[in-house]
Chain A
Amino acid sequence: MDINLYSQGDVNKWVYSTCNICSIGCGCYIGVKDNKIVGIKGNEDHDINRGRLDPKGENQWYANNSPDRLLTPLIRKDGTLQPASWDEAMNLIVTRTKETLRTIGSDGIAFYSTGQGTLETYYTIAKVGRAGLRSHLLDANTRLCTATTEWCLFQSFGADGVPASFEDVDLTDTIMFFGHNPAETGTVFFERIMERKRRTGKPYIIVVDVRKTLTAKEADLFLQLKPGTNLALLNGIVHLLLKNGWIDKDFIREHTVGFERIQWATEPWTPSLAAKVTGIPEHIMEMATHVIGTTNSLVCTTLQGAYQSADATSSCVAINNIHLIRGLIGKPGSGPLHMAGQPSSSGNRTVGGVGTYPGNRNPGNPKHIKEMAELWNVNTSDLEVGPEKGIEEIVHLMEKGKVGLFWNINTNPMASLPNRQRAKKAFENTFVVVQDPFLTETTEVADVVLPPAIWGEKEGTMENADRTINLLTKAVDPPNGVKSDFDILLDFAKRMGFKTKDGKPLITYETPEQCFEEWKKVSKGRPSDMSAATYEKLKENNGLRWPIDEKHPLGTPRLYSDFKFHTFPDNAQTYGKDLFTGRPRTKEEFESMQANGRAILYDTHYVPSVEQPRQEYPFWLTTGRLVWHWHTRTKTGRSPYLQMIAPEGYVEINIVDAESLGIIPGELVKVSSPRGSINVPARVVDTVQPGLVFIPFHYGTWENNQSANELTVDFTDPLSKQPTFKQCSCKIEPVRNKITISEKQTFEDIAETNALSLEELAKINHMIPPYRADIGDQIEVPLSRTNVEIPPYMPYRNIQIFPHFSQAELPFKKE
């Protein structure tokens, strides 16, 4: 139950819904009083969460009632955003759209949406964008989140859709969290696992991460590897699996192609080479391989530590390879579970708002294009061919003036894109529409702002990380002057006059449910078939996993239980790409692999991170999330509770590095990379390894200089085009005042005045006892110092408080 609810008095009603924060897809009820959302509680009957909610989920409703919500469209006039009517705003967008179509063409219009919307909104983006505008520049912040999931699934299995589900997590003997920290990013999922672990001792938990995360602290085996070496580790593990014969030869022969490629690619990856590259001791790697090689069931999860790293898609394909060569897929308790970050990022892919055509249709296959044209009753030639472009490529087109209109829906790229100063210049060079309930860093570069409804104020469906389709119902009306994303798109389609080839309106549905009914027809016969689903059925069953069709009327807990994969050329969702270069394959090249229903094994080749530490920038920088905040805090920053717990950005630095730089906990430091610099307080911890620093990406307005993305690189994975947020170089310098000691001051005075202990002041100034400073000597003191402690969340955690800091290691401490 939401801890805030008791302060609100009795509610009038509880409205069935689904949490709109992370990718777990928890069922919930929204508390309503006087047509206002006043709280939330977990749905005890929902299999996914059984009443649990994550702290961000519990506090998401504050945003709905926030006094700074936008209640009218805004148009930039004379350099400032000014209130406008919906007619003015929409007509301006339509005028600009038509002008772009005339002057640049269809691919002069780009949509950049979200992973937090409904399937119905995404499907409408697909229809408006692809059939209406005939653009193929449809992308979303899912590019930063789970594009790698999609591409690793295409490559190995021929289509999207995670093979395993949360049910398998409940059954498995072994789970490997690979670059995945669910203790902070999916707490309900992690609690579900830990509850079973405490009760039964299962599953055996392996964690692979560069940081000693809260998840790693609960692991049976923790592999702390060097940044950017995921694939080196996986190649080392596969080498050992093959060497020890821990493979299922029958499964490989009958259900896969390409085994010989794995053999030659991993042959050089002896434990000694893998240990040298990854920094993981050989015996630890051998222990991990022994567990993976002999377990009867295995679930491997991946998230941003895999997706936002070097060799992202190759690493996830290597995990698929492990499942395939062990024959641990499509069986209870087994299969890769490549996670999502957002509540419905996979849903955007499924219905074609991003990525391929709706229903897992291949944009390079003339038959699939023809099917879509028939379903939408448009000319085949209206639907663009070829793989999608990622946001980095769209930013490049914006820089070159080749995008005339960029429509940004419910995401904040000016805080979330890597190397954000480059992105800012590109946005300033383009007509930008921003759909957001609040003013954000991105509305600062917008020409038009449209205020949409938030969760609880609209209905629709979402797809979580394990293919579950959940229903959201409308608990309250949106504030006056606010429209749902879905209605905004329908309005745009009407104003644009989009037509079918018969001259009838392109979009005839008027409600999300009618849209869902149309989508069901589009999905029929495809991997993500939802033809047997209805809103009512989704609610009755608390969500169902696709495919939901005649054969599986109550959904499908795991894919590929018949070991038949979507790799027939006319069934595949793409023809794939070369795993090393990212070059799209032709149909003939795909056919020549002769997979034809079998899974595809690949040779995976390690390539080091593009940018690495060096003399000028001696540290690795990695970025990530906290348990207390979501994305750029547009919602969670409006919860007093969450904001109070974790109010500002910081950098985590290892004790050893802090010692050598003379940095004390909480003092302000400047972190610089070749892209820019930020000023944040330092947390001195043992959770990052020496040579690595960590900065949460949630923070940073244009004014307060704390955005991690001032520093990050905008290199992308060659297949998924997902940016490599997790590896770049940086340097750290304390930000200090210099005080010249006068005749009336002592060293002790300066320490006291600046709220420092003598030892801290001595450390800052690299002094050893006795701490003598003479008149005229210059003493450095921190420009500022902040309490950077963040409280723990989950009760079973063994740790009490951050930061970890060992005073005993100070060299001048007296016994």
Chain B
Amino acid sequence: MYHTIARTYQTFQYLLENFPINNNPLELRIKPLLYESNHVLYQILLILHQPQPNLHQLKQLFSILYRDDEALEPLVRAWGRASLWMEVTPSNIVQHRLDLYQNIQKYLKRLVPYIKGIYGEEDARYIVPPLYRRKVGADY
């Protein structure tokens, strides 16, 4: 879990170091989400370093992390389309950023079993939005 969070944190660091890419207005909305996610991940890492992590605080931080990503996901995809249509950034650079963002999503999905392990299946539903914890469903 710590390793996955650290990798996610590193990816956000990289995205922030190379941001903004172009002056598309979507970047105005994306930027605070990247900063908040970065900050939240840092706090999660600090808590995980503690011998007895504050699980309530951790729950709040995970909740924010996933909500940030729910908001980021359509914005980042829209930014990709907009950048190509406006032809303001070479397509390889746009694709690189989109690939990095895809990695973040993979990490967030990898974290879900750990979160379920800590908080239980029912509580985890209120921390992690549905599409990250998609499971093969109803038994008809």
Contact = CB atoms under 8 A, between A and B. Distances in A.
Contacts of B122: 380-381
Interface in A119-148: 132-134, 136
Interface string B27-44: 011001100100000000
| Residue of B64, B75, B82, B85 contacting most chain A CB atoms (<10 Å) | B85
B67 A583 contact: yes
Nearest to B132: A386
Contacts of A581: 29, 32-33, 71, 75
A396 B77 contact: yes
Contact of B137 (A134, A498, A583): A134
B117 interface: no
11 contacts: A98-B140, A105-B135, A108-B137, A133-B137, A133-B138, A577-B71, A586-B60, A610-B26, A675-B85, A715-B82, A716-B74
B34 to A, nearest CB: 10
B86 to A, nearest CB: 6
Contact of B71 (A366, A674, A718): A718
A607 B29 contact: yes
A39 interface: no
A584 interface: yes
A610 B32 contact: no
A496 B137 CA distance: 14
Interface string A699-733: 00000000000000111101001000000000000
B70 A583 contact: yes
A496 B68 contact: no
Contacts of A310: 25
Contact of B75 (A106, A582, A586): A582
B106 to A, nearest CB: 13
A107 interface: yes
Contacts of B126: 364, 366, 385
B71 A611 contact: no
B46 interface: no
A498 B138 CA distance: 10
A393 interface: yes
Interface of B: 24-26, 28-29, 32-33, 36, 60, 63-64, 67-68, 70-71, 73-75, 77-78, 81-82, 84-87, 121-122, 125-126, 129-131, 134-138, 140
B74 A393 contact: yes
Given A581-B71, A607-B28, A610-B24, A716 B78 contact: yes
Contact of A718 (B29, B60, B77, B125): B29
Contact of A107 (B75, B84, B131, B140): B131
Chain A interface bracket (under 10, 10 to 19, 20 to 34, 35 or more): 35 or more
B67 A106 contact: no
Nearest to A98: B140
Contact of A586 (B63, B74, B135): B63
A608 B125 CA distance: 36
Contacts of B24: 610
B78 A381 contact: no
A175 B87 CA distance: 42
Contact of B138 (A106, A393, A674, A715): A106
A674 B28 CA distance: 23
Contacts of A580: 29, 32
A386 B129 contact: yes
B127 to A, nearest CB: 9
Given A581-B71, A610-B24, A386 B78 contact: no
Interface in A582-607: 582-586, 588, 607
A380 B86 CA distance: 47
Contact of B130 (A107, A133, A586, A674): A107
A578 interface: yes
B130 A721 contact: no
B64 A586 contact: yes
A721 B86 contact: no
Contact of B125 (A133, A385, A611, A674): A385
